[in-house]
Structure 1
């Protein structure tokens, strides 16, 4: 499994580490009404998965974890700030909550519990190590170009397990060769299966774009677009101007039932990465996203470049770093000792 990017330039061999000091993520949530029957907590967690954090609150309150709402899953090896919701009747008890890896930063209220996907995006701040002054300039130039032309919206390496073994499990399960009892694991493996074929479809479209458009994503007749109003549609003519203005973006298939399919030339490519026999519900995902609010701070004496940026929900910061570096990363390569930051 390999992710290709729109520009095939020389590799930049920086390193990064998913540690609490060097990889920071902040959720950008939906708006809250500041009144209602749900407490909304802005929570900072360190070296914990989202599931671990939810379990800590659930155990403290002696309630099922399903009673705690959250918008997205965040990495363990990072400092992350995210939002959770708990019924307001637990407000008094929660004043006594303490945990070494969790800090409640702010509290408000809302009429509704937080649900998966209830966020606008995420803000990242990541330290890149082993960056020379020349490379710092190259990284900034590439980052700004990606922000203009778009970033292929791949699922990152995190989606597929440390050794990318989850896709093998997913295929075996769907083929009936592996029986899985756990409902959550089954759902996860189906999403891995869908993600894998989306990535393979996107890889083919990126290679075609590199061949014919030289660094810009090639739109095809029959593509399904997502408008800035959140609607899916297939136009009669290719909406090149609206695409360049970031008003519409082409989408790729997450295979399954009850999903809008591409047609014509786009449909011919998409069909290669479809599974019409997959009973689970399908959907569509943006083929490109556009990083915003990019800022860079270079610490010249230490060869460290801090890059901060905002991505839409469901997108991977590591994919942005891969596009800048023009290389693929693996989970097994990321967390290194400080003595191994530069080859």
Structure 2
């Protein structure tokens, strides 16, 4: 997940614990759109026929919401007839798939000339039987250009190699909580009076509340030193998949798999109902969530089902490249991972 990060004044969110401690030096990123590149990776391609036209788009300085509005107007469809798998950053160069329902209509002639505009290029297109649904992409590939003291002093590169070896805390990025943390402020107020779908149609505030509790649990586990090594009663996520299993007792076999980044402990996306987590892990989560009764009880009353999210991310296909006064960082994150979670481990920046 790579929604727009607000950098103008920084974030008032908690300075959640870092796995490598506070970085000793500052750095800069997203200094121009091409310095923050994201490419959506799908597990399939359009089949070549069907009622939906799938467009592979490259956009620059354009948000996903702006892209949807433009395509809806140009192709004369309602925004609800357009599907995306994820939101992509505005101040960036990004590539993503978009589907447009064209029931009973042929693919327009000279399609690139019709839909392209400043900041938008059509890479390819094809028909498909189904609408593109949220969260169906497999991963996101990032190329980020970083400059500043952390690069010149060498601390960024040292910390990068530690992340490659040991993984990254899978925090929800500050963009999940809105500009200046406004989403979580609004979520607290809504949960206090009772969540209503009509007041949170896209579920943004509900999602912010669940993400906040997850980050609180992850930060606590980093402080206690067990975020990556596991606890008795943890539910584990199999790296690179949605598969999860309850570990019950943390034995040598699980410890070996954890050290190899084959599996990862998980944290709660809070909800109403029984969870598979138990023992020490359950006690820790309850202790953290008890400090946030308004959010936890509000989420439960909203009827959200409990889910689990990996506490750790593995950097897939990592590479580092020197260019000029900076460094290019190349890596792939599984769906739902935030590049900002990687960057905040590497250097200090007001938006991280």
The residue aligned with 2:231 is 220
Aligned partners of 1:191, 1:18: CA distance in 2, in Å?
Answer: 29
CA RMSD of aligned residues (A): 2.4
Residue 194 of structure 1 pairs with residue 210 of structure 2: yes
Residue 100 of structure 1 pairs with residue 112 of structure 2: no
- Counterpart secondary structure, 1:140: helix
TM-score (norm 2): 0.83
Does the Cα contact within 8 Å between 2:151 and 2:326 map onto a contact in 1? no
The residue aligned with 1:337 is none
Post-superposition offset of 1:119: 0.9
The residue aligned with 2:246 is 234
Aligned partners of 2:46, 2:97: CA distance in 1, in Å?
Answer: 14
Pick one of 239, 257, 261 that aligns with 2:272: 257
Aligned partners of 1:230, 1:132: CA distance in 2, in Å?
Answer: 35
The residue aligned with 1:313 is 335
The 1:56–1:182 alpha-carbon spacing in structure 2 relative to 1, beyond 3 Å, is farther
Aligned partners of 2:39, 2:255: CA distance in 1, in Å?
Answer: 33
Unpaired stretches in structure 2, ≥5 consecutive residues: 1-13, 290-295
Residue 40 of structure 1 pairs with residue 58 of structure 2: no
Residue 247 of structure 1 pairs with residue 262 of structure 2: yes
Aligned partners of 2:282, 2:58: CA distance in 1, in Å?
Answer: 44
The 1:262–1:251 alpha-carbon spacing in structure 2 relative to 1, beyond 3 Å, is same
Post-superposition offset of 1:317: 0.7
TM-score (norm 1): 0.85
Pick one of 132, 138, 141 that aligns with 1:123: 141
- Counterpart secondary structure, 1:250: strand
The 1:97–1:299 alpha-carbon spacing in structure 2 relative to 1, beyond 3 Å, is closer
Does the Cα contact within 8 Å between 2:116 and 2:122 map onto a contact in 1? no
Aligned partners of 2:218, 2:342: CA distance in 1, in Å?
Answer: 15
The 1:8–1:97 alpha-carbon spacing in structure 2 relative to 1, beyond 3 Å, is closer
Residue 164 of structure 1 pairs with residue 164 of structure 2: no
Post-superposition offset of 1:252: 0.6
The residue aligned with 2:86 is 72
Residue 61 of structure 1 pairs with residue 61 of structure 2: no
- Counterpart secondary structure, 1:165: helix
The 1:295–1:247 alpha-carbon spacing in structure 2 relative to 1, beyond 3 Å, is closer
The 1:132–1:6 alpha-carbon spacing in structure 2 relative to 1, beyond 3 Å, is closer
- Counterpart secondary structure, 1:21: helix
- Counterpart secondary structure, 1:123: strand
Unpaired stretches in structure 1, ≥5 consecutive residues: 332-343
